[in-house]
Structure 1
């Protein structure tokens, strides 16, 4: 008998029952559902169910106090009926202008402030960071009424402050003119929310590895050239996220314009956006009766616009950014 055969005889055999227990089936992680259930219930109750009901309402119309299914007829009225289409297209154009203004002003200012805060020799960094971010935490009501008082031509402080520097002739009732009311509100909104992209981009800059910065400095790449060639490409994903957050926030905007200009979004609907148009339609205002079905139609259009914009970003821009990083 060979040595190998002797060793094989000395090894005890494993019983069949014992061998079957060596590989156990993976345990079912049922506790994950337990932890997710509260969040799913709250999200469904506050988001999914109201959204589904809004979509349902947009397909009905009240006829003799009875809800009648009309399909997409409400959307036809919204786009084709002059009583609805004029206000809808004006609100949509104003909303697009509101968004582009934020995109071209708020985010670049946020990038510049984040770059300044990331300077290693800057003193009082914590104070500046807090001062720039503080307006973000203020209520829309406070911001709207405060700026309305500041810019008032009767009791506002803006004419007085401009008079101190000899520029009182430049003052105009900016919130009362159709040509400047929406731009003024956009500037107020930028002042309030510029702290959000600033903090996000500042955090992204802090996450850049020190080895990358040191390698750039060894190649004499410093100052603005270092920011443009090294830091900016690395924070592009964060800038893209700030842009899509700005898009969603602006097409959901309502509070500031309602607080400063009221539900009619004056003067002469020049500051009317989809949010205020939805509010007047759904709940009614002054001589206008509320129409929940047409209000739900406008809300559905807002949802579709936001969904299309977010989808373009997720499946278009973000995919290209991932390829760029790889």
Structure 2
């Protein structure tokens, strides 16, 4: 007789182990996100919350009083992200390549020194750089004077055309250790057989990096790029600690995070409007969701061919 097919055992341990993370993530991420989206669809009319649909979004994008500030913040946010992509990530890749060299000594010291700013508080970093760049008591003018370049100094945080780029470079200085460590780990994971085969073919030094290592670490570079995108479009702390909620001078450093903060909670003479603030937060979520979706479905699938 044929034996009856036994059913596979129910693996109860899987949901048990996943439950704590799922509950915590739902409580602190999913529920507040859904609440924010719900709040953006209402408006306070005569002290009562009235459902208005997409009216808050139309006001935000079409009303001149709101649209000017929104588009200014979005453009600034985009430039903040571009600076990180063009400066932070290439420098991180370069540092990782240098640290992966067998000829370099004191690697642990360099890795630690570069990564330490990453764990510092935004408030500490912002206050320190504000002191360094101060034209009155900062050390930047004297340091430039020591090398004969004092004429290049300017109150960068006080000029509209330089303030945002200066803040972006400060952020690069603080977080360049993250792409460095991720790329460094990716380079260490490259099998020795591949590198030895490249050396047998006469591919060494810089040529080996461009022709062998770089294609193999492209998936890691893609992950770093999307993390940079998400982090920059959530930017708030550094700008708030250096330039305040008004993101001066004249809103030149205003990003979506600071714009949302002022709108939601109010600041000085501006009254808080949680409904409009939630609308801004919802748009931030949509922008990040679109960027992540493009990466996951349009870019990551193409980068898989480089994985070993």
TM-score computed with the length of structure 2 as normaliser: 0.98
For the pair 1:143 / 2:140, whether they are aligned, the reply is no
1:119 pairs with one of 86, 89, 101? 101
> 1:92 maps to which residue?
74
Partner of residue 4, structure 1 = none
Other structure's SS at 2:131 match? helix
1:128 to 94, 110, 132: 110
Structure 2 CA distance for aligned equivalents of residues 183 and 191 of structure 1: 12
Structure 1 residue 324 displacement after superposition: 5.0
Conserved? CA contact 2:126–2:242, under 8 Å: yes
Contact 2:141 2:150 in 1 (8 A): yes
- Give the equivalent residue in structure 2 for 1:200: 182
Q: Does 1:75 align with 2:57?
A: yes
The CA deviation string for residues 19-78 of structure 1, in whole angstroms up to 9 with x for no partner, is 55xx43211112222221111111111011000000100100000110000000000000
Once residues 301 and 149 of structure 1 are traced to their aligned partners in structure 2, the CA distance between those partners, rounded to angstroms, is: 35
Looking at structure 2, the residues matched to 261 and 46 of structure 1 have their Cα atoms a distance apart, in angstroms, of 28
Structure 1 residue 42 corresponds to structure 2 residue 18: no
1:176 aligns with 2:168: no
Structure 2, unmatched stretches of 5+, are none
4+ long deviations beyond 3 Å: 323-326
Compared CA separation, residues 124 and 323, structure 1 to 2 (3 A): closer
Taking only aligned residues, the RMSD between alpha carbons, in angstroms, comes to: 1.2
Q: Map 1:275-286 to 2 at 5 A.
A: 275-286=257-268
Q: Which residue of 2 aligns with 1:263?
A: 245
The answer for the alignment partner of 2:283 in structure 1 is: 301
1:166 to partner: Cα distance: 2.3
Instruction: Note the C-alpha offset of 1:160.
Output: 1.6
Secondary structure of 1:68's aligned partner: strand
TM-score by length of 1: 0.92
> Given that residues 219 and 306 in structure 2 are in contact (C-alpha distance below 8 angstroms), is that contact kept between their aligned partners in structure 1?
no
- Pairing partner for 1:154 from 121, 131, 136: 136
The superposition leaves residues 103-161 of structure 1 with CA deviations (integer Å, 9 ceiling, x where unpaired) of: 01100000100000000111111111111111101110000000001101111111121
Correspondent of 1:220 among 202, 213, 218: 202
SS in 2 for 1:185: helix
Deviations 1:84-107 (A, max 9, x none): 000000000000000011001100
CA contact (8 A) 2:164 2:253 kept: yes
Find the aligned partners of 2:263 and 2:205 in 1 and give their Cα distance.
53
Q: Which residue of 1 aligns with 2:7?
A: 25
Distance 1:103 1:161 in 2: 28
Q: Are 1:105 and 2:93 an aligned pair?
A: no
Partners of 1:203 and 1:297 lie apart in 2 by 39
- Greater Rg, structure 1 or structure 2? 1
- State the partner residue of 2:35: 53
Q: How far did residue 165 of structure 1 move?
A: 2.1
Q: Could you list the per-position Cα deviations for residues 4-27 of structure 1 after superposition, in whole angstroms to 9, with x for gaps in the alignment? A: xxxxxxxxxx8x9xx55xx43211
Partner-residue secondary structure (3-state), 1:298: helix
SS in 2 for 1:271: coil
Uncovered stretches (5+) of structure 1, i.e. residues with no partner:
1-13
User: 121, 124, 149: which one pairs with 1:167?
Assistant: 149
